[in-house]
Amino acid sequence: MEQAFESIISSFLKDRVGLNNNFLNTELSNNLRENLLLLLFEKQFKVAGIGSSTNLQTNKSIRSDIIYWLDRKHNNIHENGFFDLIDGFIKYLNMTCYTGITGYEFHYAYYDKGTSYKRHLDQFVDDQKRAYSMIMYLNEDWISEDGGELCIYHQDNSQIISPQNGKCVFFKSSELEHEVLLSHKPRMSITGWLKTN
């Protein structure tokens, strides 16, 4: 996995956005997708909010996905396999880049057909623990007509990233505004943040 970790870091250092197309292997991404769909069927997802825990609001005109928080306490073999991968990445990141990451939080995100998330920044004004944002996609056979791209806004241009299965996107939570463009079919991902104290 060190090759995947290194490609994320090197592309991040070059372009402020780390990318790897196969961060989640096919078996893990398939298992995570099946787990997401089961939780969705069991109505375990909740409407996603905007703002920090002290100022949480819901506004579907800004953000219209639904989410389910991952946790090792669920004792789900696939969630824990994902966390093992993240633990390995954080260890490598801290060792090679001295980032001082001490924790993380991740959730499944499900965007139904016709949903989106308007332009925003991931770090809260009143809580600056989120250091890096990570998104990993769980979408099979995604094509450009399906929409749902991640649009990242740089100073002079915007970067469009398609949500293909297994792909990982990594960037500083405090620096880059971004949005999820309108999705024309259900769109699935794991989204989260690497945190410092």
Residue 63 has pLDDT above 90, yes or no: no
Q: Does 58 have pLDDT greater than 80?
A: no
Looking at the chain, the whole-number percentage of residues with pLDDT higher than 90 is: 86
Q: What's the fold here for domain 2-195?
A: Jelly Rolls (2.60.120)
Confidence of residue 57 (pLDDT cuts 50, 70, 90): low
The domain limits of the chain are: 2-195
Nearest-angstrom CA–CA distance, 101 and 141: 34
Q: How confident is the model at residue 141 (pLDDT cuts 50, 70, 90)?
A: very high
178-197 core/surface letters (b: 16 or more CB in 10 A; e: else): bbbbbbeeebbbbbbbbbee
Model confidence, pTM: 0.92
Residue 190 C-beta-side C-alpha neighbours within 13 Å:
30
Paired strand residues for 171: 133
